[in-house]
Chain A
Amino acid sequence: MTDMPLDAAPPAETSQASEVRTLPGWLASWLLVSPLALVLAVFLLIPIAVIVTVSFWGYNEWDFFPDFTFENYEYLLSSSVTWATYLNTLKYVALSWLFTASIGFTAAYFLAFHIRSTVWQVALFLVCTIPFWTSNIIRMISWVPFLGRNGLANQFLQGIGVIDEPLEFLLFSDFAVVLAFVHLYTLFMVVPIFNSMMRIDRSLIEAARDQGASGFQILTNVILPLSKPGLMIGSIFVVTLVMGDFITVRFMSGSQSASVGRIIQNEIALLQYPAAAASAVVLLITVLIMIAVMLRLVDIRKEL
């Protein structure tokens, strides 16, 4: 992850600049890289180092103190709660990914290939972003009155006579959690996939058609492979957001389901900072492994 932005400052250009301004090449590249490096050090590396350090500390009811104990990790890794929670969180990740990816891909495909005029493309793309004018929380909470026992959805279904009893699973259930995630995060799929699709050379599609490929074959053999970088970037967004979530799961499951983020939030609330830090470290490692695996599947840098 971290090496991407650094590569974005190519050494070749900086040496050219230094010739003009007579700055030595090595100094120019140092200067160019230092603002980002400083920001990353202060806001990323140091906080992570602190979290890792604290995760080995001890704690009691009201205080935590320097120590070097593996107790936090021992409990975390041996507890059945951790495993159940990770399993549950991964279930949310898998379902949310599946739905956001298929909806996101379809929406992007429509925008990129069915809308011919650029003006309309831009206009419809902006329409997709309208929900982002309100906050995450509001978009999520507004599902509650809609899906409730006496909510609009149940009233409507009962009104048209499809059901007699209100559907209970609509709210405070896994269904509600995944629905909210899909609603919140589909745009994070649409944008990068749309971007990838717009870069596909249209002559490739013509060539495929000339060779006698059917529409479906074009989709699976040309468009899908070439949209992979976008799909992967979107997936990284969705996976990291869902893995770290604590508030959506709490509200939409009515506090009845656990997620890794909620466990950490509880630990912080109960002043168990070292335990929370250990959970955070384990979560960070898990997410990094997931991203590493995903980056193995597609070489984003090569294909962008």
Chain B
Amino acid sequence: MTEMKKVTTKNGGWSRRAVLKGGAAAVGAAAGSGVLGAPMIWAQEIKDVTLRQFGTGVSNLNEVAQKVKEDLGFTLEMTALDSDSVTQRAATQPNSFDIADIEYWICKKVWGAGNLQAMDTSKIANYDKIVGIFKSGKLTPESVIAQGTAPHTVGFTEGPGSKTFADTETGWMTLIPTIYNADTLGIRPDLIGRPINNWHELLNPEFQGKASILDISSIGIMDMAMVCESMGEIQYGDKGNMTTEEIDKTIAIFTDAKKRGQFRAFWKSFDESVNFMASGEVVIQSMWSPAITAVKSKGIPCVYQPLEEGYRSWGGGLGLSAALSGIELEAAYEYINWYLSGWVGGFLMRQGYYSAVPETSKEFMTENEWGYWFEGKEAVEPIANPFGDVMAQAGEVRDGGSFYERMGSVACWNAVMDENKYLVRKWNEFIAA
């Protein structure tokens, strides 16, 4: 024991700071070696550029990287992570990426860290064609803006270097919108056997032990709020930015339900939600659209049920690392312009998402596909997704109808609240209850 002590005091001789610095330098060197040496790059062709993109699995698809290589010539490295890890990386590891594919609520959380740079909209060719949701906040001039972190509220900043958000279109965007959708409850119509029209059905005693909700506090609380409002128990000022009393009441209702055994389980990953539904453990739960697709592709009936109170919506976009400059920054702009030019949009829309510039995507879809996915028309022949799985037969209509019907009835957007820290603590209480 005494020898041990001597040794440690010796080590104590180097300060902890020095050790940390050494470690950081090593990490920095390792990260730096991934990019080509900065002074050299000016002499290189754009095809030697490598851009590192990370994001959630939704849009981080290898097909996109391949197509970038074909169309633009440079290399795009993709890393897919869950939304918590994405937030973590965007906030704490600015040197680990060039392009961040993140959701708007994550942007609200991490923009203040200063790791992303504002984008000049004059360099975005299709800027004028981006749907209104991401600019004025209105889908159509008559639309009412939904609650929560609506993308346009965190979509603009004052200019390069600014860490705050602007209320209007300033010409400097935080994220270039790429993908979005409207989420609702998924159900097993075969096991329920009656129409479901409201969010409050999630807590209906009829489904005791057969309901589920997602265990991600920032999104789960919104689904809870949709349910509580639908039950008539709580009227929220803003579901996306609750007061502490609203959080307390909401969590209390769900804690009661949990104690009564309403929930079979909670899910955190996409695969869990698919398994719960496919195995019949759960018949009604919060779900994401590709999860519905995954259940359906196993031949099990599953409906993404449109509900009277509307949808909980989310949107994502591409952000540029603050460290990007020179030819790599040019390549990144070129990539973003290409992203909005239609091919990716079509690729995503054929999976049930929406593109930020739908009209360019139309050219990359058949009339049948455009009609089914965007216009809410009956499919005239079977609809397949880009991976070849049949998603719908001729004669079927998309759950929820057309783009304007679905995105027009968004009740709230995924959000980060001012009382987030409080929410997280209450959420832990809910899980521990």
Of the candidates A6, A256, A271, which one forms a contact with B266 in the assembled complex, judged by CB atoms under 8 Å apart? A256
Tell me the residues in window 252-269 of chain B with beta carbons closer than 8 Å to chain A beta carbons: 258, 263-268
| B423 → A minimal CB distance (Å) | 10
Which residues B214-248 have CB closer than 8 A to chain A?
215, 217
Which B residues touch A171, using CB under 8 A? 281
Take A33-B7, A50-B16, A80-B429 as given contacts and tell me if A255 and B215 are in contact as well, using a CB distance cutoff of 8 Å: yes
Q: Give residues 158-178 of B contacting A (CB, 8 Å).
A: none
Q: Per-position contact with B for A148-181: 1 when CB-CB < 8 Å, else 0?
A: 1110000000000000000010011000000000
- Decide if A150 touches B7 in the complex (CB within 8 Å): no
Decide: B7 and A37 in contact? CB cutoff 8 A: yes
Instruction: Tell me, yes or no, whether B390 is within 8 Å of chain A by CB.
Output: no
Interface string of A58-99 (1 = CB under 8 A from B): 000111000000000001000111001100100000000000
Count contacts on B: residues with CB < 8 A to the other chain: 43
- Who on chain A is nearest to B109 by CB? A61
**Min CB gap A145→B, angstroms:** 7
The CA-CA distance from A148 to B112 in the complex, in Å, is 45
A255 lies within 8 A of B268 (CB) = yes
Residues of A240-272 whose CB lies within 8 A of B: 250, 253-258, 262-263, 266, 269-272
Q: In chain B, what residue has the closest Cβ to A150?
A: B280
**Once the chains are docked, how many angstroms separate the CA of A85 from the CA of B432?**
6
Task: Take A61-B416, A172-B265 as given contacts and tell me if A258 and B428 are in contact as well, using a CB distance cutoff of 8 Å.
Answer: yes
Cβ < 8 Å to B, chain A residues 253-297? 253-258, 262-263, 266, 269-272
The answer on a CB contact under 8 Å between A254 and B265 is yes
> With A6-B1, A150-B279 in contact, do A254 and B266 touch (Cβ < 8 Å)?
yes
A269 to B85, CA, bound (A): 7
* CB-based contact B91/A271 at 8 Å: yes
Contacts A63-B113, A81-B432, A256-B258 given; does A41 touch B266 at CB 8 Å: no
Contact B432 A37 (CB under 8 A): no
Task: Tally A residues with Cβ within 8 Å of B.
Answer: 48
Contacts of B212 in A (CB 8 A): 254
Give bound CA distance, A49 to B84, whole Å: 26
Shortest CB-to-CB span from A147 to chain B, Å, is: 10
Chain B positions within 8 Å of A85 at CB level: 432
Give A269 to B82 CA distance when docked, in angstroms.
10
Q: Report the separation of the CA atoms of residues A144 and B276 in the bound assembly, to the nearest whole angstrom.
A: 10
Q: Are B416 and A41 in contact (CB under 8 A)?
A: no
CB pair B432–A149 under 8 Å, yes or no, is: no
Whether, in the assembled complex, B3 has its beta carbon less than 8 Å from a beta carbon of chain A, the answer is yes
B122 in contact (CB, < 8 A): no
Decide if A3 is an interface residue (CB 8 Å cutoff). Answer: yes
* A254 touching B264, Cβ below 8 Å: yes
Q: Is the CB of A62 within 8 A of B424?
A: no
Q: When chains A and B are docked, how far (Å) is the Cα of A116 from the Cα of B420?
A: 64
- The residue in chain A whose Cβ has the minimal distance to the Cβ of B91 is A62
Docked Cα-Cα span, A26 to B425, in Å, equals 54
Q: Which of A128-150 contact B (CB under 8 A)?
A: 144-145, 148-150
A150: min CB distance to chain B, Å: 5
Residue pair A272, B424 in contact (C-beta under 8 Å): yes
Determine the distance from Cα of A254 to Cα of B266 in the docked complex, in whole angstroms: 5
Q: How many contacting A-B pairs (Cβ < 8 A)? A: 113
**Chain B contacts of A266 at CB under 8 A?**
424, 428
Do A33 and B424 touch across chains, with their CB atoms under 8 A apart? no
Contact between chains at B110 and A62 (CB < 8 Å): yes
**Which residue of B11, B84, B209 is within 8 Å of A168 (Cβ)?**
B209
Q: Are B16 and A256 in contact (CB under 8 A)?
A: no
Q: Does B92 contact A (CB under 8 A)?
A: yes
What distance in Å separates the Cβ of A64 from its nearest Cβ neighbour in chain B?
Answer: 9
Which chain B residues border A149 with CB–CB below 8 Å? 279-281
Question: Is B297 an interface residue when CB atoms closer than 8 A count as contact?
Answer: no
The verdict on A15 contacting chain B, using a C-beta distance below 8 Å, is no
Q: Is B33 an interface residue (CB 8 A)?
A: no
CB-based contact A6/B113 at 8 Å: no
Contact with A along B264-305 (1 / 0, CB 8 A): 111110000001000111000000000000000000000000
Q: Tell me, yes or no, whether A2 is within 8 Å of chain B by CB.
A: yes
Q: A6-B4, A41-B8, A45-B8 are contacts. A79–B425 as well, Cβ < 8 Å?
A: yes
A residues within 8 A CB of B393? Answer: none
Dominant secondary structure of chain A at its interface with chain B: helix
Chain A min CB distance to B95 (Å):
16
CB-CB nearest in chain A for B212? A254
A46 at interface by CB-CB < 8 Å: yes
Across-interface contacts of B425 in A (CB, < 8 A)? 75, 79, 81
Please measure, in the bound complex, the distance between the C-alpha atom of A3 and the C-alpha atom of B217, giving whole angstroms.
43
Among A29, A256, A262, max chain B CB count under 10 A is at A256
The listed residue (A38, A168, A250, A271) touching B88 by CB distance below 8 A is A271
Tell yes or no: B117 within 8 A of A by CB.
no
Shortest Cβ distance from residue A38 to the other chain B in the assembled complex, whole angstroms = 8
Roughly how many angstroms separate A257 CA and B258 CA in the complex, as a whole number? 11
Instruction: Determine whether the beta carbon of A255 is less than 8 Å from that of B266.
Output: yes
In angstroms, how far is the closest chain B Cβ from the Cβ of A115? 41
CA distance A53 to B258 in the complex (A): 37
Q: Is A221 an interface residue (CB 8 A)?
A: no
Question: How far, in Å, is B248 (CB) from chain A's closest CB?
Answer: 14
Hey, which chain B residues are within 8 Å of A79, CB to CB? Answer: 425
- Interface check B43, CB cutoff 8 A: no
Task: Report the separation of the CA atoms of residues A269 and B424 in the bound assembly, to the nearest whole angstrom.
Answer: 11
State the Cβ distance, A220 to closest chain B Cβ, in Å.
Answer: 37
Among the listed A2, A37, A271, which residue makes an inter-chain contact with B87, where contact means beta carbons less than 8 Å apart? A271
Q: Give Cα distance in the complex from A50 to B24, angstroms.
A: 14
In the bound complex, CA of A88 to CA of B91 (Å): 33
Q: Is B29 an interface residue (CB 8 A)?
A: no
Q: Which residues of B contact A217 (CB under 8 A)?
A: none
* Given A41-B7, A149-B281, A255-B268, CB of A3 within 8 Å of CB of B1: yes
Instruction: Determine if B19 is an interface residue (Cβ-Cβ < 8 Å).
Output: yes
Task: Mark A residues whose CB is within 8 Å of B.
Answer: 2-3, 6, 29-30, 33-34, 37-38, 40-41, 45-46, 49-50, 53, 61-63, 75, 79-81, 84-85, 88, 144-145, 148-150, 168, 171-172, 250, 253-258, 262-263, 266, 269-272
Instruction: A61-B109, A262-B431, A271-B92 are known; give 19 further A-B pairs, CB within 8 A.
Output: A2-B4, A29-B3, A33-B7, A41-B11, A45-B11, A61-B91, A62-B91, A79-B425, A81-B428, A88-B432, A148-B281, A150-B279, A255-B268, A257-B431, A257-B432, A258-B432, A269-B85, A270-B217, A271-B88
25 pairs, A vs B, C-beta closer than 8 Å: A3-B1, A6-B4, A33-B7, A34-B7, A38-B11, A46-B11, A49-B16, A61-B416, A62-B113, A63-B91, A75-B425, A148-B279, A150-B280, A168-B209, A250-B268, A255-B265, A255-B267, A255-B268, A255-B431, A257-B431, A262-B431, A269-B88, A270-B84, A271-B91, A272-B424
